[in-house]
Structure 1
């Protein structure tokens, strides 16, 4: 009876101590690449994918370092369970050890401090837990720090890898000295990509839409940063898929990426994959990626104003898919990989002329259209039409047979109908959405739109976007 009572009192005393103290888990590492420099390292997701594992140990700059400082004394027979989340333990490749930190002078009784490290022996391991049994008592465990080593992690879920601990009193099974889950490493892509400068050229309608209002070049850049504390990779170059709405102006008619009056620099053509018809250019970048922070730049040059055969430039939006290539030495083999950042906004071109949309105007038997353009300036402007109808048919782009003549009001209805019919309109009842691009200064252009049906004249709205 006395023995049972004594054990109960001891358990209660230890449990009471545990409520006041708790184990702490640290890494002893400050990240050199993560924002705000947290006390844990960044593991490169790309590097891990190539290496396929990472060790928990004491080798700085190579291992995930984990130190556990108990918050209570342990006696022989007590258990300490360490739990990993965000990663999987490779039990076949691991030989876990928990040893008093050799740099901690309290680990030796000869220091006169009276602190003596207890011995921990592994008794069980799973893909997420390690359980150690204390094989030797200590006099003041809570002043000591233990290094975890010999653990291989062979799978990560991305994001935080955390470690928690839980002590268990021998015999009673009572839990004590819980160490809250603590982030010991962060797994993430080591690459960061963002648009720097974006395309913002204004296509000059007074120069036949063959150059920009402020010169002949327009550039865009992608800012790339990379680096990791552990398992970092080496950049080996990049490829760029540049997408626009109308990139045919770069086609020299033989499928090559330079039409004489127009050119692209900062990247070279991947002939096997470039498809002008899809308005996607597959390119290999020629600069950048020589350090942990760099920029990839692409410049479009437009100087077709003196070439009557040069295609006109369109107002259009640009985007890019950037694929970054990298490598890492794994053992004696150089392993390679790549990662892609999709659909990065790279800006847009606009026209110095007028782009006017008529969102609704009906066509069909008994309906006539009334469309006039007023040009209050001194520059005649060609007019380009694109349209679609309520059945999903598309028409154009096609240039009308009349232009927006300077200082004049010009009727467009007949020319528009003729253009639609030339593009396949069959005269049946249709509701049309039309866009007119007029190569005259936008401030000088106004459009009047209406239609007649059964003797009634009905005005319809139109919107000028620039």
Structure 2
């Protein structure tokens, strides 16, 4: 009997010793909230989940316990005046009384350590404080990724007790309820075929598509927004798809979406807007043959960088998180999201500035240091006249490798459109496309200005493919 008693005492002592420090992390984070930033935007205060602190040391009357909150402003009026840490394992419960609550720091003093009649180990280890219904200012909650609580304790003489690696926990986290997940989505990725005069893609098709997956995380957030629909603004260039130059706007049936019809007014030269899409994957397809068989045969396909700006319309969770006073809202999900590009299968070099005029002698040398021959074509913009590059014209067919002076060909192309540098000065930007590998081509350009007294030179530089 004596040996059994010693063994029992050893086991209960080991049970107390195995909890060497407080654990506020496990229970608090199990009860934590994940607040929807959009849904909670008009709430006055957020009521947090329970703060749960399991004691890991022996406490006595007069000990001091402190809860420090960070990340949001605590409403001190919701702090309880007394708490009891109930011990469901050992004999001793711990009761504390409030000393102060200010500046996100709540301090209690142990007022009683009481036997709860469990008839087990006389210990405060495993006694558990639970603080419910603490409220925090919503604006400060939403301004930070998380709201945390840290537990500290000391004896009446200032000696730290019950410190450990689990003395802090996350009470509230915040998350955008609406997002875009493109990890498995397709981008616009067509390659424009310069051998086909940029009238189709290298796969002999005129169709390309992009997928954009719109996400509503209502299942993982608290105080959710509802009735959400998304608007997608696709940024690019769409004027080449216009099938009716006599009608205002862009007239085309070549842009479709899996989310429904696109209103004609929402198709502009630089943007296409898809309205009212639901969460899920939206597919946007550009098919110039749909309803306009001649569209690509009449217009050169431009190189395009596509981006998307996405907004969401929703109804928030009200002022109390339960729908009271719910209001409509709008949020930007992403801005300028890269959704692909169309590129050429050749060299494209842009000369951003070339002066032309009676007293100006420009020069432009095209160097192909590779082994392939290919056509050289030109598009241009005249300052003060054009707002986009003109249609492509061929300067040289099947140009062999080497160095080539292109000035005469460029001047002839400009003259054909009425721009005569011998008659009047003007400034022009050039886009020179060569149907050869991009790395093989460079353009060297500049100009010489002549007056009666001297000659000045302008070096524009050596330019490689984009």
Per the normalisation by structure 2, the TM-score is 0.69
Q: 1:121 aligns with which of 94, 97, 108?
A: 97
Which secondary structure state, in structure 2, belongs to the residue aligned with residue 141 of structure 1? Answer: coil
Q: Say whether the 8 Å CA contact 1:201–1:212 is kept in structure 2.
A: yes
Equivalent pair of 2:305/2:342 in contact (CA under 8 Å): yes
> 2-side partners of 1:27 and 1:302: how far apart?
58
CA distance in 2 between partners of 1:395 and 1:311 (Å): 17
Cα distance in 2, alignment partners of residues 345 and 311 from structure 1: 25
CA contact (8 A) 1:356 1:462 kept: no
Distance 2:57 2:327 in 1: 46
Unaligned stretches of 5+ residues in structure 2: 1-18, 115-121
Equivalent residue, structure 2, for 1:152: 135
Greater mean alpha carbon deviation, residues 226-235 or residues 452-461: 452-461
SS at match of 2:125: helix
Match of 2:271 in 1: 280
Tell me, yes or no, if the aligned pair for 1:119 and 1:135 is still in contact at 8 Å.
Answer: yes
Asked if structure 1 preserves the Cα contact closer than 8 Å seen for 2:354 and 2:446, the reply is yes
Aligned ranges 1:358-397 → 2 under 5 Å = 358=351, 363-369=356-362, 383-386=378-381, 397=389
Deviation readout 1:169-202 (Å, 9 max, x if unpaired): 44x5666445743333322324442443211112
User: Is the 1:269–1:282 contact (alpha carbons within 8 Å) kept by the matching residues of 2?
Assistant: no
Structure 1 stretches lacking a partner, 5+ long: 1-19, 32-38, 57-63, 107-112
Distance 1:317 1:206 in 2: 21
Match of 2:312 among 324, 346, 356: 324
| Cα 1:452/1:204, change in 2 over 3 Å | closer
CA contact (8 A) 1:237 1:325 kept: yes
Q: Are the aligned partners of 1:370 and 1:413 in contact in 2 as well (CA < 8 Å)?
A: no
Contact 2:316 2:327 in 1 (8 A): yes
Q: Give per-residue Cα distances to partners, 1:20-47, cap 9 Å, x unaligned.
A: 954331243778xxxxxxx965333233
Number of residue-to-residue matches in the alignment: 409
| 1:100 alignment counterpart | 85
Question: In structure 2, how many angstroms separate the alpha carbons of the residues matched to 1:146 and 1:457?
Answer: 83
Distance 2:331 2:135 in 1: 25
Q: Which of 289, 294, 319 is the aligned partner of 1:306?
A: 294
**Contact 2:443-2:463 at 8 Å conserved across structures:** no
Match of 2:10 in 1: none
Q: C-alpha offsets along residues 215-263 of structure 1, whole Å, 9 cap, x if unaligned?
A: 222111223444325334446221111111x222345654566514x22
Q: Aligned residue for 1:436?
A: 432
Aligned to 1:135: 111
Structure 2 matches for 1:53-452, cutoff 5 A? Answer: 53-56=45-48, 64-92=49-77, 95=80, 98-100=83-85, 105-106=88-89, 113=90, 115-126=91-102, 128-138=104-114, 140-155=123-138, 156=141, 157-170=143-156, 172=157, 176-178=161-163, 180-195=167-182, 196-207=185-196, 209-214=198-203, 215-227=205-217, 228-234=220-226, 236-244=228-236, 246-251=237-242, 254=247, 258-260=251-253, 262-267=254-259, 274=266, 276-277=268-269, 279-284=270-275, 286=277, 288-289=278-279, 294-303=280-289, 306-307=294-295, 310-327=298-315, 329=317, 330-333=321-324, 334-340=326-332, 341-352=334-345, 354-358=347-351, 363-369=356-362, 383-386=378-381, 397-399=389-391, 403-405=395-397, 411-418=408-415, 422=419, 427-428=424-425, 434-437=430-433, 441-442=435-436
* Contact 1:205/1:351, CA 8 A, preserved across alignment: yes
